[in-house]
């Protein structure tokens, strides 16, 4: 099964999506399953994982409703208030849904770079393993060291690093990102999505070779068994169409063995998110 491990849906409302700013005007509309399905079909992918785009329990419920309606949505990474007093009740409610596979908080928008090490946040992370849920790390490079500390304190928790931690690809900046990625990758309970890269590059002037040094580092650090492909659709479209974005990683992994390609293009996402295959094919 080939799986796009990272995409979003929304019904656009400027008050709920303030992060869609200047230069991103084409994202100021609805993006729904009917828009994504033909794109997945066109590249032979069997499904996707829908990831939260706003920090709202209501959005999490809505994404699961979409997943009920659309078999190709194989999993949902939603938002829950990890610091809140009602977290356990929220987890009991949502984890009962077979497609709820993970939780994400927009760490890189928090003013405190050490937010993820707060006692209340860590208490919330500590509950996720009880419900067999992954946690998505949405970071900038400066957050990688605190993330390694967080992961070290929660060895039973599965973590997935989004967007290779958003290095400054446009400027070709590699350090200290390389050192910090390697530190995080030492923990076997962390996987990494090769996603979201085009929005960290020069949006309108990038070329595939711009990403190769970063992909080399990620593959060497995590290995083919802990890397997964994601489009970051529709956010990626500010820089390039879905097909071109996906071709960056798909072309890169052609150098790997057939077994490794299957891992990166789908199996790793199924394994890390504990997604159990349903009926075959996209529908």
Q: Please, what is the average pLDDT of the chain? A: 95
Would you say residue 278 lies in a domain?
no
Would you say residue 279 lies in a domain?
no
pLDDT tops 90 at residue 34: yes
Would you say residue 282 lies in a domain?
no
Domain holding 35, by residue range, is: 3-272
Q: Residue 106: which CATH number?
A: 3.20.20.140
Q: What is the pLDDT of residues 211-250, one digit of tens each?
A: 999 999 999 999 999 999 999 999 999 999 999 999 999 9
Q: What is the pLDDT of residues 122-156, one digit of tens each?
A: 999 999 999 999 999 999 999 999 999 999 999 99
Q: How confident is the model at residue 276 (pLDDT cuts 50, 70, 90)?
A: confident
Length, in residues, of the chain: 283
Q: What is the reported pLDDT for 277?
A: 64
Q: What is the reported pLDDT for 281?
A: 42
Would you say residue 222 lies in a domain?
yes
Would you say residue 257 lies in a domain?
yes
Q: What is the reported pLDDT for 279?
A: 47
Would you say residue 216 lies in a domain?
yes
Q: How confident is the model at residue 80 (pLDDT cuts 50, 70, 90)?
A: very high
pLDDT tops 70 at residue 179: yes
User: Three-state SS for 113?
Assistant: coil
- As given in the structure block, the two tokens for residue 68 are 């009920």
Of all residues in the chain, the percent with pLDDT exceeding 90 is 95
Sheet of 159-161, strands arranged across: 3-7, 47-51, 73-78, 100-105, 134-137, 159-161, 190-194, 227-229
Would you say residue 283 lies in a domain?
no
Q: How confident is the model at residue 282 (pLDDT cuts 50, 70, 90)?
A: very low
Q: Please tell me the total count of domains within the chain.
A: 1
| 3-class SS shares of the chain: helix, strand, coil, % to 5 | 45, 15, 40
């Amino acid at each position: 099964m080939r799986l796009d491990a990272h995409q979003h849906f929304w019904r656009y409302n400027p008050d709920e999506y303030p992060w869609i700013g200047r230069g991103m005007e084409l994202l100021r509309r609805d993006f729904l399953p009917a828009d994504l399905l033909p794109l997945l079909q066109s590249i032979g992918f069997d499904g996707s994982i829908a990831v939260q785009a706003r920090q709202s329990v209501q959005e999490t419920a809505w994404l699961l409703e979409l997943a009920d309606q659309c078999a190709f949505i194989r999993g949902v990474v939603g938002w829950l208030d990890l610091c809140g007093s009602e977290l356990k009740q929220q987890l009991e409610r949502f984890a009962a849904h077979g497609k709820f596979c993970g939780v994400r908080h927009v760490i890189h928008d928090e003013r405190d770079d050490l937010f993820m090490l707060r006692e209340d946040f860590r208490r919330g992370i500590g509950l996720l393993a009880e419900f067999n849920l992954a946690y998505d790390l949405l970071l900038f490079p400066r957050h990688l060291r605190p993330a390694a500390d967080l992961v070290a304190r929660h060895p039973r928790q599965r973590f997935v690093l989004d967007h290779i931690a958003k290095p400054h690809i446009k400027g070709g900046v590699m350090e200290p990102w390389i050192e910090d990625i390697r530190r995080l990758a030492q923990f076997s309970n962390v996987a990494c999505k090769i996603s979201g890269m085009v929005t960290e590059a020069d949006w309108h002037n990038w070329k595939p070779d711009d990403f190769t040094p970063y992909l080399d580092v990620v593959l060497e650090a995590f290995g083919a068994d802990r890397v997964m492909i994601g489009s970051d659709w529709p956010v990626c479209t500010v820089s390039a169409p879905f097909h071109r974005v996906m071709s960056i990683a798909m072309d890169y992994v052609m150098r790997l063995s057939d077994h490794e390609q299957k891992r990166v293009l789908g199996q790793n996402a199924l394994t890390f998110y504990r997604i159990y295959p349903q009926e075959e094919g996209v529908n």
